[in-house]
């Protein structure tokens, strides 16, 4: 097979065969196909797209490029959850212990934050002692004992994605729906869970800017999951403002714990209840969504979700005394309040801008390998729809860096206040799944 012919065919918008896709992935991983040819093919895919069949076969070829995890020694239905990433997204920290407290088994691999988005691993590592790198036997033992373990991505899974993602990042070929879907799903499939819940975010602080794009990506990933016989469902959620009130590592851990104590912000609680119901149905713990929801609320009220969070932290070496006494967490040296300059209602909060500001405060990395400051970040005092008066605190910025006061002006500009009342927007918009006859079922939230 000749790589230039494959590139030529995709350039003309033709469908590649399974053999051609396999030849590309295999040859690229073996370093027999150079970056410049791989880049040309990726760009042709970006411009001409891929059929469903090609996307399934690309996912299969990527999956075959590395090892896969066999979770069959863990009894019960294993469920995984993946968010396409956003600002203030600490969902895994509260949702996963909560569903684990009701019997769902969660063996999850997470990532680090980059740019304006945060990463679950960085949030967990802000708890002193917490280890996110476990041997496979420790990982399995923790899931069996606690019901939940979260670790870093195993380097041996989906080798093709590691190489291709790095190449896409520097060749402007990230924003292709078939490439994103096969990249995310190959990693989820390799991680071995029976069920997958996807949280596909759209809006200013998300990967997909419009709801239509998020739906297209979600539907393709649900179909890929079905092709590989995993129960895959996708929520479409809004990232038109940060999730919850906290952005930044320690601030988000504290918010997750408070949520499990029954004191969470409404949009975050709504999201974890919606996702929790879906995961409990997927794992066959409940068949009635109302009963599933009541069970989740009960395990927040009786503290069982928080108990699992603490057992999980303890099992991975974390110091639980910080969760028992949240005031033990260190706080940033400097804090700056951002005050409203007018009366009205919060109309919008630019999630991406606050993600970038949070990065500049020290909470995130500009490039891979940069160090981060666990105490840095932003705590919102107002969300979209809430009334505000001139002089009220809109948010507080936290940093260890002495020269960041100028970010106050930028943070103020990220909030739009209107004179008219603004309705509180829902966070979860819809849930996409497949019916037994393989039609899409779209349930409005
Ligand atoms: N996240 C991934 O894992 N892959 C992509 O291609 C985009 C986002």
308 CA → ligand 1 middle, Å: 29
Average pLDDT, the chain: 96
Alpha-carbon gap, residue 381 to 244, rounded angstroms? 10
Question: Is residue 207 scored above 90 in pLDDT?
Answer: no
Atom of ligand 1 nearest to the CA of 180: 6
Q: Does the active-site annotation cover 161?
A: yes
Q: Find the 184 Cα to ligand 1 centroid distance in Å.
A: 5
Between vectors from CA 45 to CA 39 and to CA 50, what angle results, nearest 5°?
150
Query: Is the pLDDT at 219 greater than 80, yes or no?
Result: yes
Distance (Å, whole) CA 226 – CA 174: 24
- Do 124 and 374 touch, CB atoms closer than 8 A? no
Per the annotation, the verdict on 441 as an active-site residue is: no
User: What is the CB < 6 Å shell around ligand 1?
Assistant: 165, 174, 179-180, 183-184
pLDDT of residue 430: 97
Cα–Cα separations (whole angstroms), residue 40 to 9, 35, 184, 265: 12, 8, 21, 46
Select from 160, 176, 180 the residue to mutate for testing ligand 1; criterion: most ligand atoms less than 8 Å from CB: 180
In ligand 1, the atom with minimum distance to the C-alpha of 187 is: 3
Catalytic residue (choose from 80, 89, 122, 161):
161
Residues 384 and 77: their CA atoms lie apart, in Å, by 38
pLDDT tens column, 235-279? 999 999 999 999 999 999 999 999 999 999 999 999 999 999 999
Q: Tell me if 240 sits within 8 A of 353, measured CB to CB.
A: no
Catalytic residue list contains 267: no
Split at pLDDT 50, 70, 90, the class of 358 is very high
Active-site residue, from 92, 183, 186, 193: 183
Supply the residue whose CA is at minimum distance from atom 5 of ligand 1. 180
Q: Could you identify the residue written with the tokens 């975050």?
A: 268
Place 118 in a pLDDT band, splitting at 50, 70 and 90: confident
Mean pLDDT (whole number) for 139-151: 96
Instruction: Determine the residue of 89, 158, 165 to mutate for testing ligand 1's pocket, defined as the one with the most ligand atoms within 8 A of the Cβ atom.
Output: 165
Tell me which residue has its CA closest to atom 8 in ligand 1. Answer: 180
The active-site residue out of 10, 78, 81, 82 is 82
Catalytic residue check, 381:
no
Contact 242, 358 (CB under 8 A): no
**% of the chain residues with pLDDT over 90:** 91
- Candidates 322, 256, 314; CA nearest to 120 is 256
Q: Determine whether 274 is an active site residue.
A: no
For residue range 388-411, what is the model confidence (pLDDT) as tens digits? 999 999 999 999 999 999 999 999
């Amino acid at each position: 097979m000749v790589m230039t012919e494959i590139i030529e065919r995709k350039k003309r918008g033709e469908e590649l065969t399974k053999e051609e896709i396999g030849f590309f992935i295999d040859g690229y991983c073996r370093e027999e196909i150079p970056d410049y040819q791989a880049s040309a093919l990726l760009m042709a895919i970006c411009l001409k797209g891929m059929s469903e069949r090609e996307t399934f076969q690309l996912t299969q070829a990527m999956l075959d490029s590395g090892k896969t995890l066999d979770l069959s020694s863990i009894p019960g239905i294993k469920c995984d959850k993946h968010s396409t990433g956003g600002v203030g997204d600490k969902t895994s920290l509260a949702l996963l212990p909560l569903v684990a407290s009701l019997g769902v088994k969660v063996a999850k691999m997470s990532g680090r934050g980059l740019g304006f988005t945060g990463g679950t691993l960085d949030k967990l590592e802000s708890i002193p002692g917490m280890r996110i790198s476990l041997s496979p036997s420790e990982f399995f033992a923790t899931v069996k004992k606690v019901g939940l373990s979260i670790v870093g991505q195993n380097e041996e899974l989906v080798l093709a994605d590691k190489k291709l993602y790095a190449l896409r990042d520097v060749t402007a070929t990230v924003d292709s729906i078939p490439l994103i879907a096969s990249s995310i799903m190959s990693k989820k499939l390799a991680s071995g869970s029976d069920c997958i819940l996807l949280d596909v975010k759209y809006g200013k602080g998300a990967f997909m800017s419009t709801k239509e794009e998020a739906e297209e990506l979600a539907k393709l990933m649900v179909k890929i999951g079905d092709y590989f016989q995993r129960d895959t469902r996708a929520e479409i959620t809004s990232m038109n403002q940060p999730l919850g009130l906290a952005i930044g590592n320690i601030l988000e851990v504290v918010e997750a714990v408070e949520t499990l104590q029954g004191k969470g912000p409404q949009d975050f609680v709504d999201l974890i209840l919606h996702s929790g119901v879906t995961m409990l149905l997927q794992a066959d713990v409940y068949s009635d969504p109302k009963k599933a929801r009541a069970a989740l609320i009960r395990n927040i009220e009786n503290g069982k979700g928080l108990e699992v969070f603490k057992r999980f932290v303890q099992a991975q070496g974390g110091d639980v005394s910080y969760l028992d006494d949240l005031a033990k967490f260190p706080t940033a040296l400097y804090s700056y309040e951002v005050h409203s300059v007018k009366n009205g209602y919060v109309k919008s909060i630019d999630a991406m801008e606050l993600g970038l500001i949070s990065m500049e405060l020290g909470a995130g990395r500009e490039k891979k390998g940069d160090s981060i400051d666990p105490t840095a970040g932003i705590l919102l005092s107002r969300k979209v729809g809430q009334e505000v008066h001139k002089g009220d605190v809109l948010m507080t910025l936290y940093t260890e860096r002495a020269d960041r006061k100028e970010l106050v002006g930028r943070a103020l500009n990220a909030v739009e206040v209107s004179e008219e009342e603004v309705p509180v927007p829902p966070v979860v918009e819809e849930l996409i799944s497949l019916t037994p006859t393989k039609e899409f079922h779209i349930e409005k939230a």
